[in-house]
């Protein structure tokens, strides 16, 4: 409770100091608008409905890219984790695809998929793919040897061992990768809109920059922050839901 009160007090102090600094004569409102001005721009855009289509558009890109990237990452992690041959064969190529900055690939995706949602979803999926694939691969390889030996003695098939032992045991590591992917998904969606989007929060930031409307830019950044926090909390909720049987079993032990 004390830490929460202290955190709230720190937030109030930061916002109050920002307001005083922005209201002074030494800082231009174009460079640093006051929080009250930003809030007015945010509330006006929400009340008029100006922000909602852009927010829905970015949220849709985020969810589609996250779903595609995480599905590919999870299946890729299982494939590489279950086959040492494929792991040695394919992992170097997967790694090469990830070390190339996605911002550098964005113009190429626009050439391939055109402007709009498709190219942004592809960029987002590519960004989300690696964290979940790497964590899935790591989680499947961290199963206790004695449990693997027990499954072999009981005559379990590789598929039964995978779904009943390896995935449940590696779930904490897998979900950690999912949380990282959720954060990166929003980055991918906004960056994709920077390059080839005509709609969405990223495109709105570019538009506000062109209009020299700094309060609008800060308002959109605040919306992106709130969207990211909401998605991260949903990821934590999903993680707790999936890990609840695992935690319950550990508490009994």
Interacting residues of 148 by C-beta distance below 8 A, sequence separation 6+:
161, 165
What is the average pLDDT score of the chain? 86
| 106 pLDDT higher than 80 | no
Q: Please give the residue that has the higher pLDDT: either 29 or 40.
A: 40
**Tokens 């929460």 map to which residue?**
4
Q: Under a CB-based contact definition with an 8 Å cutoff, are residues 207 and 134 in contact?
A: no
pLDDT tens digits, 164-197? 888 888 888 999 999 999 989 998 888 888 877 7
pTM for this prediction: 0.84
| Rounded Cα distance, 79 and 70, in Å | 14
Q: Which of 104, 119, 101 is nearest to 198 (CA)?
A: 119
| Rounded Cα distance, 94 and 91, in Å | 5
With pLDDT > 70 as the criterion, what percentage of the chain qualifies? 96
Question: In the structure encoding, which two tokens stand for residue 175, read together?
Answer: 């979900």
Question: pLDDT-based confidence at 21, cuts 50/70/90?
Answer: confident
Q: Under a CB-based contact definition with an 8 Å cutoff, are residues 133 and 205 in contact?
A: no
Question: pLDDT-based confidence at 221, cuts 50/70/90?
Answer: very high
Buried-state track 215-224, b at ≥16 Cβ within 10 A, e below 16:
bbbbbbbebb
Question: pLDDT-based confidence at 30, cuts 50/70/90?
Answer: confident
Q: Using CB atoms within 10 Å of the CB of residue 238, give its burial: 0 to 12 exposed, 13 to 18 middle, 19+ buried.
A: middle
Question: In the structure encoding, which two tokens stand for residue 63, read together?
Answer: 């969810």
Q: Which of 16, 35, 65 is nearest to 221 (CA)?
A: 35
| 252 pLDDT higher than 60 | no
Interacting residues of 42 by C-beta distance below 8 A, sequence separation 6+:
51, 219, 222, 223
| 250 pLDDT higher than 60 | no
Buried-state track 119-153, b at ≥16 Cβ within 10 A, e below 16:
bbbbbbbbbbbbbbbbbbbbbbeebeeeeeeebee
Q: Residues 118-129: what's their mean pLDDT? A: 88
Query: Can you list the positions of beta strands (E) in the chain?
Result: none
| Rounded Cα distance, 23 and 2, in Å | 31
């Amino acid at each position: 409770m004390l830490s929460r009160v202290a955190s709230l007090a720190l937030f109030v102090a930061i916002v109050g100091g920002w307001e005083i600094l922005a209201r002074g004569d030494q800082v231009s409102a174009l460079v640093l608008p006051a929080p009250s001005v930003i809030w007015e721009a945010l509330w006006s855009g929400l009340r008029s409905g100006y922000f909602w289509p852009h927010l829905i558009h970015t949220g849709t890109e985020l969810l589609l890219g996250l779903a595609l990237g995480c599905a590919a990452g999870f299946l890729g992690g299982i494939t590489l984790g279950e086959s040492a041959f494929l792991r040695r064969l394919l992992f170097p190529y997967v790694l090469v695809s990830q070390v190339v900055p996605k911002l550098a690939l964005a113009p190429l995706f626009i050439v391939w998929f055109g402007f709009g949602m498709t190219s942004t979803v592809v960029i987002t999926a590519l960004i989300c793919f690696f964290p979940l694939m790497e964590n899935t691969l790591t989680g499947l390889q961290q199963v206790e040897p004695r449990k693997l030996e027990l499954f072999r003695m009981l005559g379990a098939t590789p598929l039964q061992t995978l779904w009943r032992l390896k995935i449940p045991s590696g779930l904490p590591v897998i979900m950690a990768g999912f949380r990282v992917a959720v954060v990166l998904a929003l980055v991918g969606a906004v960056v994709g809109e920077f390059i080839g989007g005509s709609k969405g929060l990223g495109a709105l930031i570019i538009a506000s920059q062109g209009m020299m409307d700094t309060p609008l830019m800060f308002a959109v950044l605040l919306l992106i922050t709130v969207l990211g926090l909401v998605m991260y909390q949903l990821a934590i909720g999903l993680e707790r839901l999936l890990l609840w049987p695992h935690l319950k079993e550990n508490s009994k032990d």
